[in-house]
Structure 1
Amino acid sequence: MEEDEKITDFAGAGTKEGIEVWVIKSTNLIEALPPNELGLFDETLTYICLHTHGTPPHSWDVHFWLGAQSASDRHCLAALKATELDQYLKYRSNMHREVQEHESAAFLAMFKGNIRYQKGNAQAILRSSAKNATKRLYHVKGKKHCRVAEVPFSFNSLNQDDVFILDVGDKIFVWNGPHANNGEKVKGAEVSRNIRDFERAGRAKIEFIDDEWDSHPEFFSQLECKPLPAVTRAIDSDEESEKRSNVSIQLFRVSDASGTLMIEPVSGKISYTSLDTNDCFFLDTGSSASGLYAWLGKNCTDEERKAVWDNALVAYLKRKRLPLHTPICKVNENHEPALFRALLNFPPKKVEKNLQHSLSRGIAHVDSNEKFDVSKMQISRKQSICQAVDDSKGKKKVWRVAAFDIHLLPENDHGIFYAGDSYIILYTSEKVPGGIIYYWLGNHSTIDEKATAAMFVNKIDEAECKGKATQMRVIQFKEPEHFIKMFGNVLVILKGGVESGFKSPRVNFNDFFKHDHSCQMFQIRGRRIVEVDVEAKNLNSNDIFFVKTNHKQGYTWIGKGASQEEQESALKIPEIFDLIENKQIAEGDEPTAFWYLLGGKEAYAKGERLENPSPEYASRLFHCSNARGKFVVEEIVDFTQQDLESDDVMILDTFDEIYVWLGQNSNIDEKKAALDTVLRYVAADKSGRTEENTNLLVVKQKFEPTSFKAHFGIWDEHLWDNELGYEKLKELISRNVDFIHDTKNEPLKVRQMEAEFTKTHSIEVLRAKTDQLPFGVDAANKEVAFYLFCLFQN
């Protein structure tokens, strides 16, 4: 009962979005502040502040504030009360310790621009968060494992060999020294983006400084200096810095797994892999500015949660004699701030490779020095049919992810998805114990949106299903049968996302479409209606296309090879788009008005295999890789563009033509082996195909011809824009123009490409930079190419 009485101090807290503040006047007296007093703090007292995010609430931040003139016993009491509030919220909040005049930027921002200090009844003193929020300078250094540390806010902290991040609140500068390595630049870009998106709610502007590293006026004025004197070189190397940073950062495990609560330092090299979801940890950053972090694993015990804050951190703060205002922050697993992630070298948040197809593919292995047995490729792998869970007629709740939050959608918008967003769908029925929670990830949904979706799946599971739901990750165009049937057997996938604003097509479709042109085009592939660019070249004889004008009218263009399933999906178009008139057009009978809407008639994908599809000649896709230490060929069934792996080589067999697709990150050994495999594959074919009567082509990623794209259904020209290096990451963060294609990358014959690997090159050619070497030259073994050159010259 005693514990329950303590918790009643916060009864009803955290149920509505916004800020709640309590003042602690004595051990037994805690008062909630009225709205008109929020932001007013008495220097002699301590306070508890709760920031609730979302409707319904999905996350909480608990701040306990210590006045400069408050007694030390009140500090302990404030920490105790903050922990009680955290317990009331079922230990789901992030908890922060705030000290007067040293408050965090997040705390200052909570009160919309200012907080006020007062002594008793004295006049309040105003502190503006916009004017006085602490500016920070971060140092990014390392070679294999870059570290990020806060350094003194001074020109003298800079050096030419590293990257520095200057955070001034509404703007973040990424200053790249002229001798900084690529890893440091990538890490600097990633950390700055995390600060902007996670700590500034996406409102800060990021500016990259490369060429003006010694003369950028605004950057140096923020540091209260001019660009002179010159920035010096680094005192130590990246390797030496890595060794020293590993020593200065200390990580401690708090665990009761042995039956007794133990606090032990983590030995060896410290990184994100040192963390364990079953325990709690606290991290000493080695910097009084960065302070201490308490990290709570998702599966840690209640005793560990209490101990990591009450016993470990507070005791550690006293034992180390750290300043009273040393920042202390408690964070939950999967919700770590940017600096914490950087200190433990978390990997960048990027799209996971699609591994779903590996469950249904046939696999053939060979030793690295062995020729691949191409006869195994002649055996077609059939798709395994997944048994439906139920009739898909249960109840649904659908949320859309936006701005690190989720928003419940009305029923009219169910089944309508934006490729730039992520969604969470809760499905419940009597035949599905516990329910199913799908999280659907659009191809152009940001990394942070996908991470947010994954985080909220667990929260929804706990809140709606008591942790008993089956959780399923669904990738755009890889939706399972049960998922599609939930939405009336057809999905609508639109371009754009959160920035476009969400408008229901059934309610006011025309308001949403505000492009430069007056119509939109949709490709009907199977049971998906997908918005594509309005261009005649995007037509495909194998599918149905719908062109909608801005007057509730449209044309449905039916390709000669369209399936019965696609025709059934097309019947739902008038209802979905609220049409007054919909004209049916057969391929080959298009009126002039139709071509006018598409900007003129152009060549598009057509031909015997597309116009008269047959299971006997169905296209087949093979994945080639030596990532496992041996060359492996696997067939992918029911393939889409997402199955093309940038790190590997693919073989597409359309019967009339066979393509070798080279991923931009594939290695030379994979390319050589794939070319050899294709030639032997055709030679071993018993259907009458030969190298002479079959077109064997090589295409490069992002330079695929129309005839190749047509076999992948909906083709997305921007799917691989997020294959990030520093320049690409910088470009995307800065919202610059899209990737510009090199028109010289035309398809080559397999035999032509094979010849590239046996070419010889002079020493002058081989002295070029790695990214400028001729195709077929292994940058790690350039001496082989030179040896061949000398051999042939003699």
Structure 2
Amino acid sequence: VEAEFVYDGREGTLFRIIFPDWLTSCGTQASKRDPAAAPRVVDSSLLARRAGAVPTISDAGRNRRQGGESEALYQIKGRRMVTVFRVPLAASSIKTDDVFILAVPGCIYQWNGPGSNPMEKSKAAEFTAALRERDYSGRARIAVIDPSAGSSRDADEFWSILGGAPRTFVSGEPESDDRHEEEARTSIKIVSVARCGTGQDGALEMPELGIAITELKRPYRVQAVHALEAAVLSWKGRQLFVWTAVSSAPEAKQRAWDYAAFLQAEWGREGISVGIDTAPQHGEPPLFCAHLQGFSPGGASAPAAGSPPGRGSGEGSPKEFKVGGGLTPPPTGKDRSTIILEERAALIDIEEMEAADPMAMELLTPAVRHDDGSSGRLRMWQIINGRMCEIHSVSRPLLLSSGQCYVLLYTFCPGVDLRVVRHIVYAWQGKLSTKQDIAMSAMCIGEALGQIKEAGLIDKQTIPEGRETLHLLVVASRVLISTLPQSSPSSARLFDVRCCSTSPGHTPAGPVGRAVEINASSSGLFSGACFVLLFPQASASVSSAVWHGAASSESDLALAVLAQEKLELDFGTQGRRGRPVVIKEGSEEAWFWAALGGQQSYFRLAAGVTRGLSGSGSVRLFHLEMAGELVRPREVAAPCPEDLFGAPSGVCMVDHVFSGAVYLWHEQGCSARHLQECMVLARKYISLRDSRLGIRGGTGQEPSVEVAGRESK
């Protein structure tokens, strides 16, 4: 059994189909006003007839009811404002400077014109994912065609459907994108439709229809649309949508249809024939979603960073598709994920956990969709001068430079079967990289999505250095190593190795963590971590050493040994006569301190001080939010200084795990009552923490109050 998070407003298709009347039974405002009142179900065709409009039943919807999908050709055009629109299904519609999407039963073709730009390719990748999820139930194959690569089977099928490749292609003018964007800005409008006489600021009254319309501010965002009862999206000569909220009353829906019918009649007098498409909330078609910021490929609003992604509906693949591209189950008959779950279960003693603290039971079997023990396929590119340059020989554990940015494409088969393929694209941004490379790494995510040749679920994420997710660390083979740029080969190099999680319920691959290069000085040592020291080439007795801090864990040591082996391979120290050694804190010899420039003072801790704090890190940060009369703590994963100012109520609690000090940090102007409640919670936290660590009588620590801008050293 696999548990999965489901968020309000982000429900996947698999969750929705449990409820036949999903759109009229969940989360409506009418039920909040009057629990006994149920929202009335009004057919869109009835509203259209009342308004005198001509609705359009999309080809995709009509053919899906008959057991198939439609054939349609879409064009993606623009640079700063990229738009998607339908064009005639003919080879004459193809132009070399744009991207085109051809949707046919069982397959979606993406043809990247030789003159197309990265923005168009990125938009095309998102649109094909949304099209596949909504109109094909996640079961269509996505074929990306690059004309510069020559002829292929997919290209031949693409042109065959369009009636044959033209002898000469039509190429747009250099200013065509600019003219198209200018026309789109003036023509594409999203307006809210309300009752006439409401007195809204900036509303245009239309007494003949009894409505008042208000245009939304650009850029159009999904949050702004979802705050309305009904809206109309119009693009003269191309598209006309009526959007209605789940909780909107029939009268509000009727007003939207009346305005859409008015526009349709006005365009008809000019000889423009455009049908009206419906866009119900949580069921918006991909063409509607393409105009809004904040929609995920599945069509629902995108989850916040760090929240568990929804499954969607891609629970299968076409019969002719070879799942995983060669990722087959092991000869034992059990796939990798099943073995992982069995190993995880064997490491957990439920009775012991319940006896120790029944209220602190951990999640025993978290979803493993993003955690397959690093058994997938990995491709990696480095951002150089704004362009993606592929690294063909990628060895793991990963070794990345803090002065560079990288794009990683990881393909794997999650879950307890191998029927579902998932692709995830990471943009890793080094903390010392240039602003240009950081911006381009995020933009190149779309280009990496264009490299996907197999059908599957798609995720993407931007990862600044130091904020790596557990799954990215598993992909890196348990430890991700980041180096400083322009390090001299003749000097010693020091890497700080720390475990991010050692709980068996978190990652099936075992403990995962990071190895970060720091300045090679003994003042940078810390008893709560392990360090890897690489000696200069001139040294002949020792090639590298692992320094084992007295308060560090065995997981830290295991990761340090793993990082040491990788560093020796990459920096060529293994072929020397020197030998790798492990040095425990307090048993250092003179040559060790000499390599670090002499012995200096550093942060020391006694052995055993971190007992029971596996996976917590050296600092824990909590945002303290007010929930009525209560204070609700919310822990921040992998905290950094910027997270202090992200607290909604302006109050944070910081626990320096190894020293036991707890700080109550707050912004200036915070209410005294709120601070008093937070101080009570902080004292309870210290008491519970000391009790869990087995410290009899407690440490006697009192929270130290720190004010923003006047913090102590």
- Give the TM-score band, short-chain normalised: 0.3 to 0.5
Q: TM-score, normalised by structure 1?
A: 0.40
Higher relative contact order (CA 8 A, sep 6+): 2
